[in-house]
Structure 1
Amino acid sequence: MDSYHPSESGSRQEASEKLLSDSSSQNDFSDHVELKRARRSQWCSRWIIALPGFFAFLAIYSLALVSIVKDSACLAQSHSAGQLIYTPIRDAIVKEKKTIDVSVLHGNPLKGPPSPELDEAWSRLLMNANVRVSAEDLEKAGVESIPLNDGSGKYYAILDVYHQLHCLKYIRHYMYKDIYDDVQPWTPTHVDHCIDSIRQNLMCNADTAMMGFRWVNDSLEPKPNFRGQHECVNWESIEEWASERSFNPDDQANLRHPSAT
């Protein structure tokens, strides 16, 4: 009779179980590796498909960003240069640093009591106020006006600075209304219009140059120093541009009401 050896039987069973376990582990490991390879392949495929779209999005985003930065820079430059509206004289304007003296006792050809010389100086100042402009200039500026009758195809316009100067001249005449004969019953209303027009224009084109003060003799109140540096438009550059386009509005060959025969 064969004897029973539990240790040998157990050893064979353990060996068999170990082989089965090792075989199962190898199969599981192989399956895991294959699964990882499959997943990696799927991710690679997805990235290959997604990359063109990603680069397209990146290109569009970059172009949009460049456009925004460029527009912002142009807008900032436009704002800093004061070019929020179109005017045909813009490219002809020259800026300069100028010393202005408006001291009470300081004289100039446009200041003082009425005289033939002073009146002539004011007439010369306004002689080029009325100018011809093109239909394109009006369209760019968003301004409507009337055509001239001189066959030029141009339209009637005036630079606003000349309107402000006209208003100053009118106020000056009103100050000396016992001398000038252009004072009419409606003149106070006209003068009020001119004062408000100049006021609005001064606030619109605010001169931010600083004015200092000084002590004068024994006065207990400091006096303003009316002489100082300012950033100015060179007036000759405006005169040159306007003189090349000026016309006489009193000549009906240039300007005539449509109802006139």
Structure 2
Amino acid sequence: MAEKVEEYAPLYTSRSSGDKSESDYDEDVEMKALVQQRSRHSTRWQRARPWALHLGLPLLYTAVFLGFLYSRPAAGTFSLLDSPAKYIGETTHAEAFPLEGLAKGPYTGVPRKELDDNWRDLLQYNNIRIPDDWIERFGRVETAVKLPDGGYLGMLTVYHEIHCVKRLYQSLHREHYMPNITAEELETNINHDLHCLEVLRMGAMCRGDVSIITHRWKEGSVKPNVEQRAPHQCVDWNAVEGFARERSVDIWKEGYIRNPKTGVYPYAPPGSAGASDSHMGHDHMHGAGAM
């Protein structure tokens, strides 16, 4: 049986072959032109590539840096907080507190009119107006205290802490600030003092001041004394007070604080007869003049 031989069409015909048609020569010319054109483009790119890299890389680095800069949280002491006053934490300074020996200052010592005036001035802007969008963002529209002239009642946490320090000071001098306190009022006051101690403890542990306090020897004593000269990282208190002052509200205006279900809050201006905070009840309507 004769072996069958299959015929295959050639995949490529040598250009040296003598049987090329005219169309084959046309294709050769077109191919050479295409190769030359690509070669010129390749040469131009090879020449331009170093310049493209030289100019493009800085632009790329800049884009990456800006993307990182705007995607990260804002820097500052309060960068994680959603507060209208968070910008205050962007600028801080080191400050050493002059605490040597017995405590002396405008807010301590024996009870006196000057001291009470200082506390009143320090807390005069503690009640502020909170914008609607913040209340809405945190889902507190149904529970927050709406103010009749817009916004909601609130305060900066630092004023709550200062209020607690003032209450504890006054409790140390109960005979002066609460001479006729009843047993029931005393129990309420003690519970509020315990609340304030927790507020101050949690605040201290939250901030975690890591400034270093050393000790020193006191003449004639075997017990080391604390030397409190460590610099602390502080915000600008003037900025805090300025923020609060611009947004402060007077809660003592008659009829200003009104519960839509139960009516006007029944209190009198601080210092007047019948003032609900005269014995520092366990409420947080922090009037500047309230005890």
Q: TM-score range by the shorter chain?
A: 0.5 to 0.7
RMSD of the alignment, in Å?
Answer: 3.2
**One-letter amino acid matched to 2:152:** Y
Structure 2 partner of 1:164: 161
In 1, Cα distance between equivalents of 2:121 and 2:103: 21
Q: Does 1:146 align with 2:145?
A: yes
Distance 1:82 1:242, change over 3 A: closer
Structure 2 partner of 1:107: 104
Question: How many residues matched?
Answer: 200
Contact preservation (8 Å) 1:214, 1:222:
yes
**One-letter amino acid matched to 2:225:** K
Contact preservation (8 Å) 2:78, 2:86:
no
1:126-149 Cα distance to aligned partner (Å, 9 max, x none): 110000121113345665522101
Q: Secondary structure at the match of 2:257?
A: coil
Q: Does 1:97 align with 2:94?
A: yes
Contact preservation (8 Å) 2:125, 2:241:
yes
Q: Secondary structure at the match of 2:231?
A: strand
Structure 2 residue runs without a partner (length 5+)? 1-9, 12-59, 265-291
Structure 2 partner of 1:85: 81
Quote the sequence identity (%): 26
In 2, Cα distance between equivalents of 1:214 and 1:72: 48
Distance 1:213 1:235, change over 3 A: same
**One-letter amino acid matched to 1:260:** G
Distance 1:127 1:81, change over 3 A: closer
In 2, Cα distance between equivalents of 1:207 and 1:73: 28
Q: TM-score, normalised by structure 1?
A: 0.66
1:216 to 215, 218, 221: 218
Structure 1 partner of 2:52: none
**One-letter amino acid matched to 1:146:** V
Contact preservation (8 Å) 1:85, 1:141:
no
User: Where do 1:21-170 residues align within 5 Å?
Assistant: 70=68, 74-75=72-73, 78=75, 81-93=77-89, 94-140=91-137, 145-149=144-148, 151=149, 153-170=150-167
**One-letter amino acid matched to 2:259:** H
Contact preservation (8 Å) 1:131, 1:247:
yes
In 1, Cα distance between equivalents of 2:99 and 2:128: 30
In 2, Cα distance between equivalents of 1:191 and 1:242: 25
Q: Does 1:181 align with 2:178?
A: yes
Q: TM-score, normalised by structure 2?
A: 0.60
Q: CA deviation at 1:217?
A: 1.4
Structure 1 partner of 2:196: 194
Q: Give the structure with the larger helix fraction.
A: 1
Q: Secondary structure at the match of 1:227?
A: coil
Contact preservation (8 Å) 1:128, 1:239:
yes
Q: CA deviation at 1:254?
A: 2.9
Distance 1:104 1:137, change over 3 A: farther
